[in-house]
Each structure stands twice: as structure tokens, then as C-alpha cells.
Chains A and B, each alone.
Chain A
Amino acid sequence: MLPRKPDHYVALGVFRDATQEEIKRAYLESARRLHPDKNVAAGETELFLAVQEAYEVLSNPKRRSLYDATLPPDITGNLDVKHEIIFSRPSLVNLSEPQLLYVLLEVSSREDPEKLPTPPLNICLIVDRSTSMQGEKLDVAKATAIQLLRSLRQEDTFSLIAFSDKAEVIIPAMDATDKKKQENSIQMMHTTGGTEIYQGLRAGIEEIHRAMTSARVNHMILLTDGQTYGDEQECLALAEEAATQGIGISGMGIGHEWNDIFLDALTSKTGGSSSYISKPKDIQRLLVEKFNALASIYADEVTLEFKEQEHIRINYAFRLQPEGGSISIEPTMRLGPILRDASLQILFEFIIEPAALIEDEIALMNGALKMFIAARSTPVPPIRLKISRRVEKEPSMEAPPVRILSALSRLTLYRMQERARLAADEGRFDAAATHLHNLATHLLSQGENSLAKTVLFEADNLESKRKWSAGESKKDIKYRTRALLMSSTKEKT
């Protein structure tokens, strides 16, 4: 099937009934992503011109109505992806107190994953070379970088940045020099200075820009072992900027000194997530896994734009698949990618205030799912996401769907770990220990004996010594309970 030439609405990624305000916002967003000043790649200029033309027509009410008359009826919708919504209960209850509702959203490709083309990659690896990386950590990172370089296909591009308190481009994007030379440059990397993540990120974005097209998976992988000093806010702003341009960020932390909360915040801005590397030799496995995951992306940067309904809010959103991670709740939520062989699954926790229950059926969310399909340079139409529930007098006796229960039983463990950490950070060590004891009980009953042991050990430590036994242990518990979540969804796919 030949790709249809997108109509003006699809080009801008808006619905046909979009308001002038929505059209303008969509135009500004596309312009930021596609502006020729930022995008040197061939083919993108054409896309930019299509967006511009679309905006010129649709922003003028007269021209818009003339144009609308020429369009075929809007029945096609999104032919590429499908979505499914599962609720924790069939209806809301008319109550005078707030109530919870869980919603599981699953978005997947309609096409047979075997037949889909693999997208070309545009990846920048940003390696911390501060003095603490000296030895095995940097050696394994170098060896892995060389291994990845060798495994690239013709259509992929790979760049490498080393940073400490300043950044150095080791391999530029679209570099035509032979691989032997590039491997030599990687071997020559040595440690020096402190850790300033902002320097690395900024240089990384520049390299990504050199090879950026919509058809590519544009992604930065940050590998660090330390805390960044004083530039957190700038980093977050930069990540936000990267996200609007369609650049994803993943973070990998080695050892105990790096700040996982910060790295989670940074990566979740782009729909990415962080992972924890406890032993230097795991660097290789995790980086290769990450590369493979990026190469199997079907749709990149799935976003959910929505307006909050009055007296209803999303209290928590968590990606169960493909990669577990919290999602920051903003008007434009970046949900993460759909992989060719793994759907995107998000669990939302809604809190509904009594004041919202004014009708028989209330809307929980009115939003749009937008995405870019990798390996394709034309935009796909957005999917309208309308979630509503009826309000009944009596609670339903129906048992909650197994998929929600199963996901939530694991997510509950992750959240208990979060609460324990929060309590410990605030100096409430007994409360933290209680949370950990509870967590351990559930881990034992789920057969996770080794993790339970670690948790119990830390609970005793917090109780008696008022501190964690070591810096790594809280990260260890966090990432291992998060991994449980992923294994629980994998069982079904």
C-alpha cells in the first residue's frame, strides 16, 4: 500500500473539529520539531513545508471551510495502531467521598510485527568520564561502545560523547571516517574531572540534530556514575526541549552515587526511563539490550494530550510495558514507545471527587493519543481517547479484571518501596521500617525470597541504625521491585 498523502489535519496532527487555538499550538509544535534551522536532514524540509501549508489553510476560517468541502468523510481514523481500555470496575458509585478508579490503556500495532521494517537508528551514547569512572567501569563502557559500533547497519548513525565538567565529541554523527579510526578514538578515552550532565546532554543533542529525521529513532543514552552538581534544572529544561523535538533519553546509573530520582525525572520527560547497573560488567548487557529495544521500536514518542476534567485527577500513572517507569502527569504526557513485539501499557489511577458526579455518566478524560511511526516520515492521524463511566447507586459486585489486579499487586510493591524511601528521607525511620516489613511479607508470599531478605535486612538497619546499610541498597530494592512489574506483564505476552 502506498502511503497516502496526509491531509492538512493529519499533517498538523489535529482532529477535524480542532479549534483555532489547537491548530495554532499544533503548528508551533511541529515547527519546533521540523524547522530547517534545526533539521539539516534531507526530506524534512518537505515535511516542514507541508505543515506550513496546512497551517496557512486551516488558520483561515474561509479557506478552511472551502478545504473541508473537498475532503472525503473522516471515517478512516488511525489504521496503524489499535488501543484497548480496561477498567477496574464497570461503574462509579454515587458517594459523598472521593473514590478511586484504575484504568489500563494498551496501545499496539495493528500490523504483523514480522512484516514491519526496522527503523534506522540515530543514537548518541553519552559517557561520564569523571575520575570515578576510572578502571573497570570505563573499560567496559569502551568495549561495549566498540561492539555497538561494529554492529551498526548502513542506515544507522551512532555518535559518542564523553563528558566530565566539559564535553568532548569522540565520534560525531554521520562521521564518514573508517571504523578503525573511530575505534581508536574510543580506546583513547580517559578519565578526568567531575560530573556535569548538562554538558554531556547539550553536546549529545547537537550530534543528534546532525542526523535527525522523523523516520529515525532519535535517542540519547546517558551512562553516569555520579551526582551532577547544580545543573539539575538546566538538564530538566533541556530534556523537555529534546522531548518536543522528538528526541528520547534513557539513563543508566552505575554504582551508588548517582541520583536515581533525578535520572528518572530527566528521562521521563521524554518518555524514557532509567536503569540501575550494580556491577560494571553489566554495562555491556544493559547497553546491548537497550540498543535492541531501540531497534525494535514501532512507534516512537507516544504522547497523550488531555484536559483535566473538573474534580477528577490522575493521581498516578505508570508504564508497565515495554519498560517499567513512572510517567509524569502533565497536560502532555509522554508515555513511551510501542515496540514491534510489545505493546505500550499504562496504568492510571484516577481520583474522583464527589463534586464530579453530577450526571449519570461522567467523562474522566477527553484526550488525544499522538505518535510518530518509526521508519515512516509522514505523520499519522491522532486517536481520540474518550474515557467515561456510568455512575450507579450501588457498587458493582463484579470482580476486578485479572490483568488490573495482577499489575496492581506488583505496582503496590513498587509504591511501598517509594513510601519507605520517602519516610526514611524525612527521618521517619520507624515508618520506613514498617513499610519495608510489609513489603518483605508480600515478597515472601510471592516467592521473591532473595529480594525479601534484602528488604528485611534494610528494615532492621533503618530500625536499629537509623540509616540504610549502604547507598546502593535503596536503589537495589527500587529497581528490583520495578523489574518484578516487568516480569509480570511479560508472562502474558
Chain B
Amino acid sequence: MIACSNCKHSNMDGALFCAECGSQLTGNSFVTQNITTDRFKDLLDSTGKEEQYQNFNGEDAWGSLHLLDTGHVISLAAKSEFTLGRVSEGQPIMPDIDLSPYQAYAAGVSRLHAVVKRGHHQMTFMDLGSANGSFINGKRLAPNEEKSLSHGDIVSLGKMKIQILLKNA
């Protein structure tokens, strides 16, 4: 059996997509990959497709954010600090990672919601005084207070659940 990481439904071994919620499952211990077919198109064009496929968070990425609701994986690379939020019109400060394509508005993500920072074998997380708050593994955080996260922790920005994946965990 393979348990879906999104909805916990038990799927038959060999299943590639969850029969209940449609999220992509994996044959190995890695987490859900991006479901969009655009990505597959890119893969088709490249020759070394298997390597690229396995390399789910890019060469230089030190960690990734796995969006549990949609199955997307966002790599964290090139910088050691990222602000998370959603872009909307007339906004003075833009977040580094725009979550609006993933229904951030409906989930109650603020425009500038939180910040993640690279640490030693870990990641730190801080809520930036968001309207709907942030949670780590279900526990509400006080705003502007830095907390450390381990590989596999689940943070929620409002209702948006994100699993933290660290490369060298």
C-alpha cells in the first residue's frame, strides 16, 4: 500500500496518482512531484530525463517547499532567505515566492506572510504578522518570532499547508 501524502488514502502498490484526491504518488521515498504537464513537456525535450527527474530540487537548492494541497514543489536555491506571500496590485514590497498561483488567496495567505532562512542543517521560519497566522505542525506561532524547522515539518500559512524538505537532513 502507498499512503497518499495529501489525503492519507491508501492506494494499491504501483499506483502513480491517488485514487481519492488525484495527487501524484511516488514509487520511492521522495515526495510528490509537480503534477503540471508543462513540466513533463520540458522533460520530454531533454535527453537525460531520468537524472533530471530524480533531481527534484535542483543542483543548488538547499531545501524545498512542498505544497501539500496542490502537489507542487518549490525549490529554494541561490539565496539563503525567502519571503513568502502573494502578489497583488499596488503592493509596495513583493514577496520572493509568490504563492498566488496555488490558491493562496483562498487559503488566507497574507501578502507578506512569513520568511524562511537557511540554517545549519535546518531552516528557520518567522511569521511576519500575517492576518491569519502561521502554524508549525498544527501549533500557532507568535508573530515575528524565529522558530527552527526540521525536514518533514508541516507549516501552515493560514490554511495553506507546506511541508519543509531539507537537502542534507
In the bound complex, do residue B103 and residue A399 qualify as a contact, i.e. CB atoms below 8 Å apart? no
* Minimum CB distance partner of B14 in chain A: A100
Residue of A nearest to B46 (CB): A402
Query: Which of B48-56, B108-116, B127-135, B136-144 participates in binding chain A?
Result: B48-56
Contact with B along A479-493 (1 / 0, CB 8 A): 000000000100110
Interface flag for B102 (CB, 8 Å): yes
For residue A409, CB closer than 8 A to chain B, the reply is: yes
- The answer to the question of A97 belonging to the interface, with a C-beta cut-off of 8 Å to chain B, is yes
B43 — which chain A residues lie within 8 A by C-beta? 402
Cβ contacts under 8 Å, A93 to chain B = 13-14
- A445 pairs with B41, CB closer than 8 A: no
Closest Cβ of chain A: how far from B56's Cβ, in Å?
A: 10
Distance in angstroms between the alpha carbons of A160 and B8 in the assembled complex: 54
**1/0 contact trace for A91-112 toward B, CB 8 Å?**
0110101111110000000000
Is A446 touching B16 in the complex (CB atoms < 8 A)?
Answer: no
Q: Which of A77-131 contact B (CB under 8 A)?
A: 88-89, 92-93, 95, 97-102
CB-defined contacts of B101 to chain A, threshold 8 Å: 445
A416 adjacent to B54 (CB under 8 Å): no
Contact yes or no, A445 B35, CB < 8 A: yes
Closest CB in chain A relative to B86 CB, distance in Å: 14
Flag the segment in B66-74, B87-95, B118-126 that touches A: B66-74
**Given A100-B15, A412-B17; A400-B27 close (CB under 8 Å):** yes
In the complex, the answer to whether B12 meets A98 with C-beta atoms within 8 Å is: yes
Interface residue total, chain B, C-beta cutoff 8 A: 33
Q: Are B12 and A97 in contact (CB under 8 A)?
A: yes
Asked if A441 is at the interface of the complex by the 8 Å CB criterion, the answer is yes
A88 with B14, Cβ < 8 A, contacts A399-B54, A402-B43, A439-B22 known = yes
The reply to whether B102 and A99 contact each other, CB–CB distance below 8 Å, is: no
The answer to whether A101 and B16 touch across the interface, beta carbons within 8 angstroms, is: no
Confirm or deny: B78 has a beta carbon within 8 angstroms of a beta carbon on chain A.
no
Q: CA of A29 to CA of B78 in the docked complex: distance in angstroms?
A: 67
Q: Is the beta-carbon distance between B21 and A438 smaller than 8 angstroms?
A: yes
Residue A451 interfacial (CB < 8 Å):
no
With A438-B22, A446-B36, A488-B37 in contact, do A99 and B27 touch (Cβ < 8 Å)?
Answer: no
Residue on B nearest A102 in the bound complex, by CB: B16
Give the docked Cα–Cα distance between A474 and B55 (Å): 39
A414 and B36 CA atoms in complex are apart in Å by 15
Question: Contact at B37–A446, with CB atoms within 8 Å?
Answer: yes
Does B24 interact with chain A (Cβ within 8 Å)? yes
| Complex Cα–Cα for A345 and B37 (A) | 18
Q: Are B27 and A406 in contact (CB under 8 A)?
A: no
- A351, A396, A412: the one within 8 Å of B27 (CB): A396
**With A100-B13, A101-B14, A397-B28 in contact, do A406 and B70 touch (Cβ < 8 Å)?**
no
Question: Which of A402, A416, A445, A488 makes the CB contact (< 8 A) with B71?
Answer: A445
Q: Which residues of chain A come closer than 8 Å to B17, judged between CB atoms?
A: 408-409, 412
User: Are B40 and A95 in contact, with the CB atoms below 8 A?
Assistant: no
- Closest chain A residue to B34, Cβ basis: A445
Q: Does A395 contact B (CB under 8 A)?
A: yes
Question: Would you call B35 and A402 a contact (CB within 8 A)?
Answer: no
- State A19–B6 Cα separation when bound (angstroms): 52
Residues of A within 8 A of B24 (CB): 405, 409
A442 touches B27 (CB 8 A): no
* Residues of B with C-beta under 8 A to A406: 37, 40
Given A88, A397, A410, which contacts B37 in the complex, CB threshold below 8 Å?
A410
Q: Which of B16, B27, B103 contacts A408 (CB 8 A)?
A: B16
Q: Given the complex of chains A and B, what is the CA–CA distance between A102 and B13 in angstroms? A: 12
Contact of B16 (CB < 8 Å), options: A404, A445, A492: A404
B residues in contact with A413, CB < 8 Å = 22
Question: What distance in Å separates the Cβ of B49 from its nearest Cβ neighbour in chain A?
Answer: 6
Distance between A311 CB and nearest chain B CB, rounded to angstroms: 14
Q: Which residues of A contact B71 (CB under 8 A)?
A: 445
Cβ of B103 and Cβ of A444 under 8 Å apart?
A: yes
Question: How far is the CB of B102 from the nearest CB of chain A, in Å?
Answer: 7
How far is the CB of A468 from the nearest CB of chain B, in Å? Answer: 20
* Closest partner residue, chain B, to A93 (CB atom): B13
Q: Once the chains bind, are B44 and A492 in contact (CB under 8 Å)?
A: yes
> Within the complex, what minimum Cβ distance (angstroms) separates B10 from chain A?
10
A447 at the interface (CB under 8 A from B): yes
| Chain A 328-365 residues near chain B, CB threshold 8 A | 351
Judge whether A405 and B14 touch: CB under 8 Å.
no
CB distance from A224 to the nearest CB of B (A): 32
Pick the residue among A92, A101, A400, A445 that contacts B70 (CB under 8 A): A445
Residues of A within 8 A of B40 (CB): 402, 405-406, 409
Given contacts A100-B14, A351-B12, A439-B22, contact A491 B41 (CB under 8 A): yes
Cβ contact within 8 Å between B36 and A445? yes
A398 within 8 A of B: yes
Interchain CB contact under 8 A, B103 and A441: yes
Contacts A397-B27, A441-B70; A402 near B36 (Cβ below 8 A): no
**Contacts A99-B12, A100-B12 known; A399 to B37 CB distance under 8 Å?**
no
B136 → A minimal CB distance (Å): 24
Residue of A nearest to B17 (CB): A412
13 contacts between A and B (CB under 8 A): A99-B13, A99-B14, A100-B15, A351-B12, A400-B27, A402-B40, A402-B44, A405-B24, A413-B22, A445-B36, A445-B102, A446-B35, A447-B38
7 interchain residue pairs of minimum CB distance? A100-B14, A99-B13, A412-B17, A406-B40, A99-B14, A445-B70, A399-B53
- Report which A residues bind B (CB closer than 8 A): 88-89, 92-93, 95, 97-102, 351, 395-400, 402, 404-406, 408-410, 412-413, 415-416, 438-439, 441-442, 444-447, 488, 491-492
Contacts beyond the supplied A445-B70, A445-B71, A447-B36: 4 A-B pairs with Cβ under 8 Å: A99-B12, A395-B13, A399-B50, A400-B16
